[in-house]
Each structure stands twice: as C-alpha cells, then as structure tokens.
C-alpha cells in the first residue's frame, strides 16, 4: 500500500466555497454535514501522510547513523588487524634474522 497515494488529490478545494457559505449563513443541512465529514476524512488522510513521511525520514536517518557507526567500527577493526599483521611480520622477520 502506497502511503503517498492520493497525495495530490485535492477534490475538497472546489467544494470549499459552498462549505464557507454554509458556515457564514449559519445553516446546517445534510450537505454541509457531509462536507464537514469529507473534510475531516481528508484531513485525517493528510495527517497520516505527514506522519508516514516523518516516520520514513526518521527511520532513514537512524539507518544512516547506524551505517556510519558500523563503518567506523569496521574501520577500527581493520586498523587493529593491520597493526597485528605488521607486528606479526616484524616478529617473523626478527626470528628469521636471528637464526644462524
């Protein structure tokens, strides 16, 4: 299910003048109640879309931070291995030199 589906669907905008007139005149009928319900439904969908976008941004940011942390840890391990290999090589060279 695409959380962004219908994000560009602004079907409520043309009905706003009718709704505005009903509010200004203080008359409520089934049509204005239906408009209010439809507006509330669209608002809820927009709110869900915004929450979804926010959650997606947060999870991507956390993923990037996690990847950076793993990269730093891997670099540290790699440097430790290089140091150990270098020490091992030096030890072997010293042993070879000391042999008669």
Angle, to 10 degrees, between the axis of helix 16-25 and the axis of helix 30-98?
130
Q: Tell me: the pLDDT tens digits for 13-64?
A: 565 666 666 667 766 677 777 877 888 888 999 999 988 888 888 777 778 8
Domain of 54? 13-98
For residues 1 and 66, the model is more confident at 66
Say if 38 falls within a structural domain. Answer: yes
Say if 7 falls within a structural domain. Answer: no
The pTM score is 0.41
Say if 81 falls within a structural domain. Answer: yes
Say if 90 falls within a structural domain. Answer: yes
User: What one-character DSSP code corresponds to residue 87?
Assistant: H
Residue of 5, 94, 92 whose CA lies nearest to 46: 5
Q: Tell me: the pLDDT tens digits for 75-100?
A: 999 999 999 999 999 988 888 888 76
The C-alpha atoms of residue 84 and residue 98 are separated, in whole angstroms, by 21
Residue of 54, 76, 56, 52 whose CA lies nearest to 64: 56
Please state the domain count of the chain.
Answer: 1
Say if 62 falls within a structural domain. Answer: yes
């Amino acid at each position: 299910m695409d959380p962004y589906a219908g994000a560009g669907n602004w079907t409520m905008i043309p009905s706003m003048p009718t709704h505005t007139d009903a509010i200004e005149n203080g008359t409520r009928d089934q049509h204005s109640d239906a408009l209010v319900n439809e507006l509330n439904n669209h608002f809820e969908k927009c709110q869900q879309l915004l929450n979804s976008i926010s959650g997606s941004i947060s999870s991507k940011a956390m993923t990037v931070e996690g990847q950076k942390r793993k990269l730093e840890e891997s670099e540290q391990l790699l440097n430790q291995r290089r140091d150990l290999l270098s020490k091992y090589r030096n030890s072997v060279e010293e042993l070879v030199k000391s042999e008669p």
